[in-house]
Every structure is written in C-alpha cells, then in structure tokens.
Amino acid sequence: MQGFVKHILIRKNRIMTACGMLTAAAFVIKWATGDMVMFERILILSSVLGVLPIAVQAIRALRVKVVSIDVLVTIAVIGAFIIESYEESAIVTFLFLFGAYLEQRTLNKTRSAIKTLTEMAPESALKKTGGGDFIEVDVDEVDVGDILLVKTGAKVPVDGTVLSGEGYVNEASITGEPIPVEKGQGSKVYAGTIMENGTIQIVADRVGEDTTFGKIIELVEEAQDSKSEAERFIDSFSKYYTPAVLVLAAAVWLVSRDVELAITILVLGCPGALVIGVPVSNVAGIGNGARHGILLKGSEVIHSFSRVDTMIFDKTGTLTIGKPAVIDTVYYTEDKNEVLAYTASIERESNHPLAKAVLEYIGETSFYPVESTEVVKGAGIVAEVSGHRVAVGNISLMERENIKPDSKMQNDIERFLESGYSLVLAAVDGRLAALLGIRDQVRPDVKKELDRLKKLGVKNLVMLSGDNQKTVEAAGRNLGLTQAYGNMLPEDKSSFIQELKDQGRTVAFVGDGINDSPSLATADIGIAMGSGTDVAIETSDVVLMNSDLSRLSHALGLSKAIVRNMRQNIVIAVGVVIVLFAGVFFSEWVGMSVGMLVHEASILAVILNGIRLLSFSPGKKSKLRL
C-alpha cells in the first residue's frame, strides 16, 4: 500500500496532464458526436484518476489532525459524484492539480538563487602531496593547513591565504561584484570564487561548511525556510478556517437541503492563494537579495527592516573607507619641496597610519639621511636632517619644541580642527613650515546613498564613532546626517541604541561586524559590512557581502517591496473568497467549476505578483506597486 501511495504522489504531474487530456477529450466527443454515455464515462475516469493524489494528501493531513485544503477538495469531489455532477468533479480535480503544479514550479524558480549557489560549490582540489606533487582530490578530503594549487579557470576550493603566485579572482559569488580582484602573496581567497587568470598556491584556512561560501548557502537556505509573523498567522488561520468552511457547508445543507450548494461552498472555500501568496513573496525576495550580494536572514528580519525609521552608522570602515589621507595643506615657507622631502625622510621611519598617509601624499621625492632620531611618544619625531633640526608631529610636539605659531598659523590650525582634520605639523629649525590636515576618506557616493535612504522613509540618520567630536561633527555636516556623536566606546554605542528603542523607534545599526558586535546585537536590525567575515555573517541580520553602501538602499527597498507584495497577495486571496461567497449567496453565476477556475486564477495572480520580486532593482521600485 505504501508503495502505491508513493507511486501516485511521484506521478502527480503526469496524472494532472492525463486528467486535462481526458476532460478535453470528453467535451470534444460531446460536441462532435453528442454521445453523453461516453462523455460521462471519460469524465468519471478523469475524476477518479485526478482525485487519487488529492485524497492521499488529505488522508495524510487527517492522520496528523490537520484539516487541509486537500480534505475540502476530496469531499467536494465525492459530493459531486453523489449528485452525478461529473463535469464539475473532473474540472475541479484538474484545476486543483494544475494549481499545485504552478505553485511548485514557481517555488522552484524562486529558489534558483540557492540552486545557482550550490552549483558554484567546488567539487575537487589540487592538493600537494608529501613528495611535492599536486594530485586531484575530492574537496571533502581537504583539511585545514593543506597546500592547494589553483589554476586559471578553476574554482577556489576552500577559504585560504595565498602563499605564492598572483592573478585575478572573480568573487561575484561572495560579494556580488563582477570585477575581478587582484590576488598576491598574503591575500585572502574564498571558496566558490573563480580564478580568471594566473596561478596561485594557497594554504587552506577553512574547509567544507566552515567556509564563507558554505555559510552563505546555509544562511540563505535558513532564511528562505523561515516564517514571518504574517506566515505564522496564515498557518494558524488555516487550521481554523478549513474546519469552519466544513461547518458552514454542513449548516447550509441542513438549512437548504441543497447538496450541490453545500459542495460548491466547500470548493469556493479553498484558501489556496492565501497559503501560497506570502511564501512566494518571501522566497522570491530573498532570492533577489542573494543574487545581489545581500543576505536577508528570514521573513522576520524583512518585516522589521521594512519598518526602520532610524539608521545608525559606525564611521570608520562604514561611511568611510578606513584609510586616512591628506585632504588639505598650508605651507609657511617658500621652499615647499624641501620641507616635504625633510618630512618624508622622517615619516618613513614611522609605522603610524598618519605617517603612511603623509608619505602617500608626498609621493616621489628626495630622501635625506636622518640622524639623532628622537621618538616622542604620542607626539611625533624630532631628528637632524641635512644639518637641520626637523620636528614632525602634533601640536604637543610643537609646544615641546617651543615653536609658537603666529596669528595666521593659529587661525589655520583652528580652521583645520573645526573641519575635523587630524593634524601633522612640520617645523624646520624652530619655525613652523607646513600644516597638513588628514582625514579618513568618505566612501564614494555616500551622500547620494543617504539621500536614497531618506526617500525610503528613514527619518533619522545618525553617526557614532570613537573618533573625536569635532571630526565626527564635521563628517556629519558634510554628509547631511541628523546627528553625529564622537568619543563613543562600544558599550556607549549599544546604550545609545537601546535608548532610541525605548523611545519607540525601530533602529538599524550599520557596522563592520567586528568591533561593533554589541551594537549589531542590540539594534532591531544589525547590518554588517565586511566582505563576508565570520563575525559579520553570524552577528547581523543583514549582510552586505561586498561592503558597498549602495546595496543598503537596495536591501531596504527590497524589504519594503517584499512586505508590500505579501500584503497585496493577502488582499487578492481574501478578496477572491469574499467575492465568490457573495456570488454563491446573491447570484446564480457561481458554481463549482467556475469557483475553482477563479480560485486557480487567483493562485496564478499571487504567484505572478510574487515572482516580480525576482527582477526587483532600486530603479524599478515603482513597478512593484499595484
């Protein structure tokens, strides 16, 4: 018996096709020959064949005490047989099976993001043996610490570090960016990415499910299988709704003694569009995000993200690229090149980030021997350069050297500080010669992205940073932020976020996923940037895999579109049931076959509405509105 049931369910789509062909043949015979006996026999065969997989699923549902849609349809078909309405039974079974086929096909299509990712997973690797040769092995045989060879056109088999060689790797499967990234000794590479040209040897750092690629697949699968508040409500609603339809049909029969009317109510009460509408929106939307390097961790995250009214940003590495650069300069000497050469000669002795920024700004220059070097902790360096006493550092170093700026110099210093610059001053023989303003560089097009977020309904844009207040305020003014606070420790940031939540705001925090874990956890929605680091994936609700802020408005717009799409599908599904019931009680045009046809049309409508999310992009947002 178990084998027969399995056989029926496996061939459900074939049964659907057979039912459709038999029903069509019956009507052709009726219209062509008028043979009503053959007409009814073929319809009976079609009905019996079609109801088999539906009845099997109904029995399975009843065994676990669930009165499913299949139960309604099975009872309706049996009732149609009792009143000898074979046309209705054949049409109802075919349309129900066809609707199930459409649902499954659509869900398979919307899960194509997962399928594509899975197909990208590497299957083999060239592993170095004890003799120094490389042999091809299954990727499951690679262990942490193994040395692997990756050639042009091959997939990187594991997460690892380049030991030797160089080339360009396409990291679209991880970051969503199609432009290949140059890799050399010490560079990190990720499983599933493709070596476009070049050859490298890597040491395996993470293998199997522990790789970034493995975590992405696991995350997206979990997200697509998760249920939102709306889906949980519909599941709960269906448990009570289906028995209620049965009771209503029974009551109508008891009052009217009209079996056909009671059976019609059973058919019309099938909430197929309501059951499929929300999941198809959810799965299609998450699939869209996955293809664009945006990981949304489930329907609950999407629902909360769509309601965000306050977005808080960490400064360094989020709004800025985390690389200081010389932005402004003032010179107090006629020989600018000589001062820069002295400064570069001293700064190349230091590993300080500001020193690197100064050297990058100066570029090619003449270097002089540096003698009698004195490093003043927290202040700078003093040394003899080409017979001159040169001091390069901050204001404290100038004061220590007893160098007093005149009024113009003082005004320049105050102006630089007001602009949020970190200062590097260079003095030669006791006189200030150059003033350099250094600041972390804002990410390209950040202001445009912030404007897009405002248009999407984010009322408050806030920046929190451990940097000094003046620097943070200056950056906040330039970017048009609502608020900007400096001197913030990690615990200060999370406390600030909690205060906003206590005020009733829905807060999203955008950080790098490493130093901002408390804030990511405290916020209603934690959004991590960081090219798929472990911490980013594990501690946040949304991950922008390529650390590109332009994906942030895409993610928020997509979340709003998904929620809007879910609501549209619920309205379509409920509206159709209401209209059909009204048609039954207040008109004569709604029958079983008409009702089922309208039901299947509503299922197709919510499916088509949901799969539009697969093509969502920020430039097409308006097209997703009904």
pLDDT at position 626: 38
pLDDT at position 622: 41
Mean local confidence (pLDDT), 262-274: 72
**Which among 528, 523, 525 is positioned nearest to 513, based on CA atoms?**
528
Length of the chain: 626
Strands 525-529 and 542-544: parallel
Residue-wise pLDDT tens digits, 326-367: 989 999 988 899 999 999 999 887 777 788 889 989 988 888
Structure tokens at 386: 């080409």
Q: Which residue has the tokens 């332009």?
A: 550
Stated as kind and residue range, the H or E segment containing 36 is helix 36-63
DSSP string, 565-588: HHHHHHHHHHHHHHHHHHHHHH-S
pLDDT bucket at 396, cuts 50 / 70 / 90? confident
Distance of CA 4 to the CA centre of its chain: 43
Q: Is pLDDT at 7 greater than 90 in this prediction?
A: no
Phi, psi of 427 (to 5 degrees): -125, 140
pTM of the model: 0.62
Q: Is pLDDT at 311 greater than 80 in this prediction?
A: yes
Which whole-number Å values give the CA distances from 38 to 25, 43, 44, 88, in the listed order? Answer: 10, 9, 10, 16
Residues with Cβ within 8 Å of 534's Cβ and at least 6 positions away in sequence, in order, are: 212, 215
- HSE at residue 13, side-chain half, CA atoms within 13 A, is 6
Q: Is pLDDT at 317 greater than 60 in this prediction?
A: yes
Residue-wise pLDDT tens digits, 363-391: 888 889 988 888 887 688 999 998 899 99
User: Rg for the chain (alpha carbons), in Å?
Assistant: 34
**% of residues, the chain, pLDDT over 70:** 81
Q: Is pLDDT at 502 greater than 50 in this prediction?
A: yes
The 3-class secondary structure across 412-479, one letter per residue, is HHHHHHHCCCEEEEEEECCEEEEEEEEEEEECCCHHHHHHHHHHCCCCEEEEECCCCHHHHHHHHHHH
pLDDT at position 478: 81
Question: Which regions of 120-210 does DSSP assign to beta strands (E)?
Answer: 124-128, 134-138, 147-150, 159-170, 181-183, 188-189, 194-206
CA distance 58 to 261: 22
Structure tokens at 169: 């790797």
Residue-range domains of the chain with CATH: 123-157+159-206 (2.70.150.10), 294-314+444-557 (3.40.50.1000), 322-441 (3.40.1110.10)
Q: CA-based angle 350:355:358, to the nearest 5?
A: 145
606-624 core/surface letters (b: 16 or more CB in 10 A; e: else): bbebbbbbbebebeebeeb
CA distance 599 to 602: 5
What is the SS3 assignment for 529?
strand
Q: What is the mean pLDDT of the chain?
A: 81
pLDDT at position 530: 59
pLDDT at position 223: 46
Mean local confidence (pLDDT), 9-33: 88
Which of 98 and 27 is assigned the larger pLDDT?
A: 27
Q: Which residues are catalytic?
A: 314
Bridge partner residues of 525 (DSSP): 508
CA dihedral for 10, 12, 13, 15, sign (positive or negative): positive
pLDDT at position 259: 78
CA distance 198 to 204: 18
Mean local confidence (pLDDT), 217-239: 57
pLDDT at position 106: 53
Which of 170 and 613 is assigned the larger pLDDT?
A: 613
Mean local confidence (pLDDT), 594-612: 80
Which whole-number Å values give the CA distances from 492 to 476, 487, 616, in the listed order? Answer: 18, 9, 38
Q: Is pLDDT at 3 greater than 80 in this prediction?
A: no
pLDDT at position 623: 43
Under 8 Å between Cβ of 263 and 86: no
Q: Is pLDDT at 515 greater than 70 in this prediction?
A: no
Residue-wise pLDDT tens digits, 448-487: 889 999 999 999 999 988 667 777 888 888 888 999 888 7
Residue-wise pLDDT tens digits, 122-141: 889 999 998 889 999 999 89
CA distance 376 to 556: 48
Instruction: Order the strands of the 370-376 sheet from edge to edge.
Output: 320-331, 431-442, 422-428, 388-393, 380-385, 370-376
Q: Is pLDDT at 149 greater than 90 in this prediction?
A: yes
Which of 591 and 29 is assigned the larger pLDDT?
A: 29
pLDDT at position 176: 44
